[in-house]
Amino acid sequence: MKYDQPIRDNRGFSLIEIMVVMIIIGLLAGLVGPKLFGQLGKAKQKTAKAQIEMIMAALDAYRLDVGSYPSQQEGLEALISNPGVDDWAGPYLAKAQIPEDPWKNPYIYRNPGQNGEVEVSSLGKDNKEGGSGEDNDVNSWE
C-alpha cells in the first residue's frame, strides 16, 4: 500500500444542502428581478425620448433646407425621401429609415401641433393616450 497518495473523499452535496442553495437563489431572484424589470421600462422611455429628439433634429435640418416643416400629409417620410420639394438635401436620418418606438409602434407626427409648430410623440407601451410608468406618453414638447 502506498501512503503518499491522498485519500479521495467521495462525498458530495446532500439533497438538503442543494435545496438550501436553491432557496437562497430563489429569494435573491425574487428581490432583484422586479427591480431589473422596472429599469427596463425606464430604459425604453429614455430610448423613446432620445429617438424623438433625433427626429426633431432631423425635422429642423429639413426646415433649414426647404424652408418649412413637412406637411401632415408628407409626414416623417419626407425625412427619408424627397416629397417633391426644391432644396431637399436628405435623407435627414442616419439610417435612412424612420425608427419605430421601443414598443414597435410608429411615432406620431403632427403639423401643426398643439404645443409647438410640429410635434412628435409615442403613446408608450399601452399605445393609448395617457398612462403612467411604461405606459406614459413620450412627447417632443416635454
Q: Indicate whether 126 pLDDT > 70.
A: yes
Most confident of the ranges 6-15, 70-79, 89-98, 133-142: 70-79
Q: Which CATH superfamily is domain 47-139 in?
A: Glycoprotein, Type 4 Pilin (3.30.700.10)
Cβ burial of 9 (10 Å; 0-12, 13-18, 19+) is: exposed
Residue 127 Ramachandran class (φ > 0 left, ψ -120 to 50 alpha, else beta): left
Q: In what order do the strands lie in the sheet with 108-110?
A: 108-110, 119-122, 138-139
59-73 pLDDT, tens digit per residue, is 999 999 999 999 999
Residues 56, 81: Cα–Cα separation, whole Å: 17
Specify the pLDDT at position 137.
Answer: 92
Q: pLDDT at position 28, please?
A: 85
Mean pLDDT over 91-107 rounds to 90
